[in-house]
Every structure is written in structure tokens, then in C-alpha cells.
Structure 1
Amino acid sequence: MMKTSKTVLILGGNSDVAKQCVLQYAQKGFEVMAASRDLVSLKNFVIEHQLENQVKLIYFDAVDFSSHQKFYEELPVKPHIVIYAAGFLSQNKYARGNFNDAFQMMKVNYAGAVSVLNIIVNDFSNTNLERIIGLSSLSGVRGRKSNFIYGSTKAAFNTYLSGLRQELHSRNIVVNVLVSGYIRTKINEGLNLNESLIMEPDYVAKHIVNAGNSFSIVPNWKWKIIYWILKLSPEILVAKLP
């Protein structure tokens, strides 16, 4: 294992993809700060992979906005890389009739990200910071009747990250967005998905850990095609999609 002096902060570290990022960054020699509300599951994962000496577990609640400043100030070290992986999904049929579900998606997927990332980038004393990566979804590329509420939170997140990338360019800080399709994760359990399109969490994590300078990262050639079809199709065709 190659050792590095760099540190990565993973916000929402209990997701399946985030856990694989913890593992892969640790294998590259990074010091990892994994932040989540559910530290029990994360601790078990860290122990299972014998990473206790490399991974620091920190409590973080994406929707407790008032706690974010203190959370950042109390980090043991300021990060070189920040990943926002927190996410919440409620199916459209529920979110349309239950604003609490819709609001929770807005808070976790967008507002929480803006709250904590603004705090991080406003710390001009952290000269370590070199990259921010947000985990998003193809659902945010175009509005579709099957998931437009969830998709709207991801679209807002994408726009925020796009503007943040421009803002931070002069500071040589790269901003990426991981635009993924179906992943075999807890968030998608029980959904009727096309098996041939489902990606494994470790495969997606590899694209995050090896992110380059391009803004959008779309893993898997099949999803790249779908991404461009969604992006370029006229509204009359998109309206016919589920």
C-alpha cells in the first residue's frame, strides 16, 4: 500500500458507495474521515477491513444545518478531498402526496450539501483543499414523470456544483459531479430495475477515487449513452419516458 499525507472527508459515509470509497482511499494510503449519523455500521465495516488506524469516524447529520460549522471546526485535520455522498430517496408516488418525504429529499440531497460545502470552501486558511466531489444521479439530468421530485433535488445539486466549480477555479480546486445510473445499494432495494444496467458500488467508487478534471463523471458506457440521450433529446421524446 502506497502511503500519502493526504486526507479525504467523506460526508454520508454509510452509503454503500461511500463505504467502498473509504476502502479504496485507504488502500491508496489516504487518511480517511468518514462522517455519518450511523457510526455503528461504519465501525463494523472499518473493523471488518482492518482499517482502524486509517479511518476516523465522525458524527455528521446532513439536515442538522446549525451543527455544520461546529462539525467542520472540530475536524482533526482539514481535508484535501471532500466527498458529499449523503442521499435520501422517496418514490415519486409517495413524495407527491407526502411533503415530508419530498422535503427530506430536498434537505439531504441539496440543502445539506450547500450548507456544509459552503462552510468548507469559505475556509480560506485550508490550503490543503484540492477537490470536491458530489454524488448525484441521472435523475437530475432531465425532469421525468416517474421521479421528478427526487430528480429536482439532484438537478439543483448539479447546478450548485457547476457554479462552485467556476468559483473555485482560481483557487485550483477541482469540483466533480458523479452522475450515476442504477447502483446495487440499500437506497434501491425493492425497486424493479433492469439488471443489466445495475452497477456495483465498488465499480462506482473506483470512478470517484480516480476522478480527473472533467466536471461530470458518468461510469459505464451504457449509462454514458443514456446520459447523452437524456441530455439531448427534445422535450416531446422525454415526455414519453416513464
Structure 2
Amino acid sequence: MNQNTGKTVLILGANSDVAKECIKQYAQKGFTIIAASRNTISLEQFTHENHLNVKVKILYFDSADFDSHQKFYNELPIKPHIVVYAAGFLVDNKKALGDFKGAQQMMLVNYMGAVSILNIIATDTSNQNLERIIGLSSLSGVRGRKSNFVYGSTKAAFTTYLAGLRQELAPRKIKVNVLVSGYINTKINAGLDLNKNLLMEADYVAKHIVNAGNSFTIVPNFKWKIIYLILKILPESLVAKLP
């Protein structure tokens, strides 16, 4: 049932497919949403098509422009109760190995930008609203594999950061979650040769974000939970044989 919770969620990197589904689901729960992205035109079109204009405030945010982050946060119309970091960038591992610009952009968006803005948000003790921070990571960051270890390293770093942030914010009763997802049917994965039996839809993944509980790690789908656990315990000699 749609009701006004009086709470605000800030979604950073709000133009991703999963983030857009989060916008719809948070709106259904009665949240006011601040959707931040470099592509504000796409977000405006999305909110108009889904009749969400009243519930969503769209702002420009560039995760890789660190110098703008403090100003962005200071000028928020209201300080958020929930923050979702959904910004992401992916290039093929061979390209990342051969051209550092691609690798650098993944580091900037997937890890460094996240740390920059989330540090600002987390250390603002004047924000009595803040109750939860959720970061979108990946199973690619669980173990280093030769097919995607550059991208995976950025997600591993982000997951480690969020684990420490959870401990840092625990005395203030602020929860921190990390969504560790497998393959999602989104534009970032378009064109990749992925196992269709393991593909999750964006709205399914978003449901796990919007309904995050107390557990730090959220792994949607029982198949991916099994894969996640196997990856955690697999000997290095066997990990090396994975693609």
C-alpha cells in the first residue's frame, strides 16, 4: 500500500536499471526519493513515464568528480534516511589490462567515488535522519578470477570498505548492507555471454535492496547464494581453473 513514510532515500547512480526499479519500489512504499546521476535527462523521462514526478527529485551527480561531492551533499534539499550507492562502470578485462583508462574509470566509479561521497555522508553527525547505507557490489569481488579480476578488484575493495563502515557506524545505530549480486539482466551486461539460467531481473534485485534487513551481506537468489558460498571456500588451485 502506498503511504507517506516521511522518509527520504538518496540513490546515487540512479540511472542504472536496478536503481530505477528501486525508485519505483521506494515510491510504492511512500518514500520521497532523491535520484542523482550524470544522466538527468534519462531520469526525467523515466519518472515522467512512470508518473513519479511528484515523488522524485532529480539532481546531477558525478561519482568520479570528487571535488563536487561536498557541495552536492551540502545542497541536498533534505538529508537522507537511506542512501543507496548504485553507480557502476564495467569494461572487458582484456580492455582493462591493455588500456588503463578503462581500469581507472572502474576504480573511480565503483570504489573511489563511493568512498568519497559515503565518507561525507557517514561523518555528518548532524544528520539525525540517517539510518541505513546500502552499496551495490558483485560476486566478481568475492574471489579474483582471470576473466574479470580488474573489475572484481574494485568491487572487492568496495565490499571491504562497507564492512568497515558498518562497524564504524554501529554505535550510531546506522545499518550498512552490501548487495552481492550475480548476473543481472541490465544494460551494463548487454552483449555479454552470460548463462541465461542464472540471469536475475532488475526488479527482483531491487526488491532485496528496498527490503534490506540486518544482515550485512545480501545475496539475491538461492542459486547465487550457493555460488557465493562455494566461491568463499573454494581452494585457490580450483579458483585458478575457473574462467
Superposition TM-score tier, normalisation by shorter sequence? over 0.9
Give the AA of the match of 1:190.
G
Partner of 1:183: 184
Q: CA deviation at 1:2?
A: 1.8
Tell me what 1:80 maps to: 81
Matched, 1:127 2:143: no
d(CA) in 2 for partners of 1:209 and 1:43? 21
Corresponding residue for 2:242? Answer: 241
* Residue 122 of structure 1, CA deviation: 1.1
State the Cα deviation string for residues 193-223 of structure 1 (Å, max 9, x = none): 0001000000000000000000000000000
Q: What are the residue-to-residue correspondences of 1:205-220 with 2, within 5 Å?
A: 205-220=206-221
Counterpart residue type for residue 183 of structure 1 = I
Which amino acid is the alignment partner of residue 229 of structure 1? I
State the match for 1:63 in structure 2. Answer: 64
- 1:156-192 Cα distance to aligned partner (Å, 9 max, x none): 0000000000000000000000000000001000000
TM-score of the pair, normalised by structure 2: 0.99
1:123 is aligned with what amino acid? Answer: D
- 3-state SS of paired residue (2:59): strand
Query: For 1:1-242, what aligned pairs fall within 5 Å after superposition?
Result: 1-242=2-243
CA distance in 1, matches of 2:47, 2:88: 21
State the alpha-carbon separation in 2 of the partners of residues 49 and 3 from structure 1: 18
Q: State the identity as a percent.
A: 73
The residue type equivalent to 2:205 in the other structure is: V
The amino acid across from 1:71 in the alignment is F
Give the whole-Å Cα distance in 2 for the aligned partners of 1:91 and 1:139: 13
Mapped partners of 2:239, 2:212: distance in 1: 30
Aligned length: 242
List gaps (5 residues or longer) in structure 2. Answer: none
Instruction: Extract structure 1 runs of 4+ deviating beyond 4 A.
Output: none
Does the residue aligned with 2:130 lie in a helix, a strand or coil?
A: coil
Distance across 1 between alignment mates of 2:147 and 2:87? 22
Q: Secondary structure at the match of 1:96?
A: helix
Q: Give, in whole Å, the separation in 2 of the partners of 1:236 and 1:2.
A: 53
Distance 1:97 1:222 in 2: 33
Instruction: Give 3-state SS (helix, strand or coil) of 1:161's partner.
Output: helix
| C-alpha distance in 2 between matches for 1:184 and 1:158 | 22
Q: Which letter does structure 2 place at the counterpart of 1:211?
A: A
Pairwise CA RMSD of aligned residues?
A: 0.4
Q: CA deviation at 1:20?
A: 0.3
SS at match of 1:136: strand
TM-score between the two structures when normalised by the length of structure 1? 1.00
* 3-state SS of paired residue (2:98): coil
Distance in 1, Cα, partners of 2:76 & 2:137: 25
Q: What letter corresponds to residue 157 of structure 2 in structure 1?
A: A
**What is the letter of the counterpart of residue 2 of structure 1?**
Q
